[in-house]
Amino acid sequence: MEGVLATGPGLALQAEPSAFTFAPGRTALVIIDMQRDFLEPGGFGAALGNDVAHLASAIGPCRAVLDAARATGMLVIHTREGHRPDLSDAPPAKVQRGAPRLRIGDPGPMGRILIRGEPGHDIIPALAPIAGEPVIDKPGKGAFYGTELEAILRHRGIEALILTGVTTEVCVHTTLREANDRGFRCLVLSDACASYFPEFHAAALAMVSAQGGIFGWVADSAALTAALATQEESGTW
Ligand code: TIU
């Protein structure tokens, strides 16, 4: 199958800057912050002055890799950026940053902006978590800061992460950098990530694989689904 370089106990797929090898049983798909607050009008992303339409392109590829991961039993982890209703976990420096139309905690059309439990904080219906898929609520841009993510990954013997979600240069990149420093190998799926700024998306992806893969590997969602399909067919790993 195109893009698939090897099968067996481990898989390999074509990526930049070199083939990415992984054992699905020791790999997690991480879907970052695919929340209504970032993807739909009236949320945090829009309050910052962004055109949320730029993020829609990532939904289909995220759904495709989510389906493939579920079909093969790979660990799936969802993250959500947001804060406690009393804002006690929100640094004032974050709440007061910039000049948004609505600040974190303010009432908006999808409930209070970036607050846990509000409609806007939910993951979009197309990518809703199912039972058995951990959801990490994170107060920062990175998914490791102030969360149980590292413990969950270590307990499951995970050594590689496949990163998707929004936005490429903010929460995906921060998580990627945190993961690298903790020793995880990371593959970023280019079409399953998106940014409000197409040029930042392109630059952020280029930064991952430059310098021999300084932060990891980059491939598209089709390369991953093709690799996982070989596992479904053989039924091994
Ligand atoms: N503003 C922006 O690009 N992103 C964020 O604030 N959070 C995430 O990326 N999830």
pTM reported for the whole predicted model = 0.95
What's the 158 CA to ligand 1 centre distance in angstroms?
26
Kindly report the length of the chain.
237
Does ligand 1 have an atom closer than 6 angstroms to the CB of 37? no
Q: Are 162 and 224 in contact (CB under 8 A)?
A: yes
Please state the atom number of ligand 1 nearest to the C-alpha of residue 170.
9
Rounded mean pLDDT, 136-147: 98
Q: Where are the alpha helices (DSSP H) in 49-191?
A: 59-72, 92-95, 149-155, 173-181
CA distance 140 to 83: 9
Q: Where are the alpha helices (DSSP H) in 160-197?
A: 173-181
Which residues make beta-bridge pairs with 35? 123
Q: Tens digits of per-residue pLDDT, 16-51? A: 999 999 999 999 999 999 999 999 999 999 999 999
pLDDT class of 5 with cuts at 50, 70, 90 = low
Is 89 considered catalytic here? no
What's the 53 CA to ligand 1 centre distance in angstroms?
14
Is 141 considered catalytic here? no
Does ligand 1 have an atom closer than 6 angstroms to the CB of 204? no
Give the number of other Cβ atoms within 10 Å of residue 127's Cβ: 19
Residue 6 pLDDT > 50, yes or no? no
Please state the atom number of ligand 1 nearest to the C-alpha of residue 167.
9
Identify which of 150, 168, 22, 13 has the alpha carbon closest to the alpha carbon of residue 77. 150
The residue annotated as part of the active site, out of 33, 37, 137, 220, is 33
CA distance 131 to 205: 31
Q: Are 171 and 143 in contact (CB under 8 A)?
A: yes
Q: Tens digits of per-residue pLDDT, 142-173? A: 999 999 999 999 999 999 999 999 999 999 99
Q: Tens digits of per-residue pLDDT, 178-218? A: 999 999 999 999 999 999 999 999 999 999 999 999 999 99
